[in-house]
Amino acid sequence: MHHRGRAVPAAAHALGRGRGAGAVSPADRRSGRRRPSSGSGKAEQAADGTLIWGLNSVLEALRIPGSVSEVLVQRGKGGPRIQAIIDLARERRVRLRFVDADRMGLPGHGRHQGVVARRAAARLYPLAELLDHLASTPDRDNRRLLVLDSIQDPRNLGSILRSAVAAGFDHVIMTRERSAPVTGTVVRASAGATARLRLCQVVNLAETLKLLKEKGFWVYGAVVSPDALSIYEADFSGPVCLVIGSEGKGIRPLVQRQCDHLVTIPMRADLDSLNVSVAAAIIMFEMVRPR
């Protein structure tokens, strides 16, 4: 295992080359890869992810605490699954309204099967509050923090947040100006994980990392570079912060300079990249793997 020491690393010359940790495939960068809704009567969701409809989708969303703010039920509709949705909404203390069919508020020709749910907006915490909560964490030596530098695709962002919850990362810091906003699309892609995370947006990420280092965190930046340390050789003990860069350009130079170490995922020679959400998941789970 590599024994670490604080040092500002040289810039990884491979940043932006390929599509690895901090980059995605050209298909991921294209904005038009969403398939249009077919209006077939299957469970569907609004384009921005704010509304969900269909019995199965609404029930699934309600099972995640804090992920739904309101449920609309069409008057006159009944049955076991409708009643299960009503009961769970009341149990979760979610606002419940019974309305006529023309008040269901669906875009296009979506077939709602009598129920529509509105996703709850993700809560964003001030940096000071997030840092205070980190400081009060009982197991201070095993604190894990995820930092996202300019993740622009909302589905990539949602997928990363879902993996963060699965790997035990409870706190996430994102850039405010260059990142995808935490919309319903992100919440949907995260499968409700946004409700389980403390999310924070900052203007100056480099200064934020400097502050985290002053508070005892070791900062690791994920890059695509043969000169970077393998994630399987890195020492991830103690309070650690993982920085994941944008889909196209990776971690920005000013942010990278605040990283104590640059790490990479070893791959076979004829494959130099992974989708950013896949790479983030691999590294996060390696960081929490028992040594």
Token match 């049955």: residue? 79
Q: Tell me which residue range forms the domain holding 264.
A: 122-288
Measured CA to CA, the distance from residue 288 to residue 291 in angstroms comes to 9
Residues 178 and 209 in one domain: yes
Measured CA to CA, the distance from residue 117 to residue 60 in angstroms comes to 11
Residues 93 and 204 in one domain: no
> Which of 52, 84, 119 is a domain's end point?
119
> Do the Cβ atoms of 279 and 257 come closer than 8 Å?
no
> Which of 89, 119, 149 is a domain's end point?
119
pTM score: 0.75
45 torsion bin: left (phi>0), alpha (psi -120 to 50), beta (else):
beta
Residues 83 and 130 in one domain: no
Q: Which residues of the chain have pLDDT under 50?
A: 8-11, 13-47, 109
Angle at 115 between CA 111 and CA 117, to 5 degrees: 105
Residues 50 and 183 in one domain: no
Is residue 7 in a domain?
Answer: no
Number of residues that make up the chain: 291
The pLDDT assigned to 110 comes to 56
Greatest distance between any 2 Cα atoms in the chain: 67
> Which of 119, 147, 178 is a domain's end point?
119
The pLDDT assigned to 276 comes to 96
The pLDDT assigned to 75 comes to 93
The pLDDT assigned to 26 comes to 38
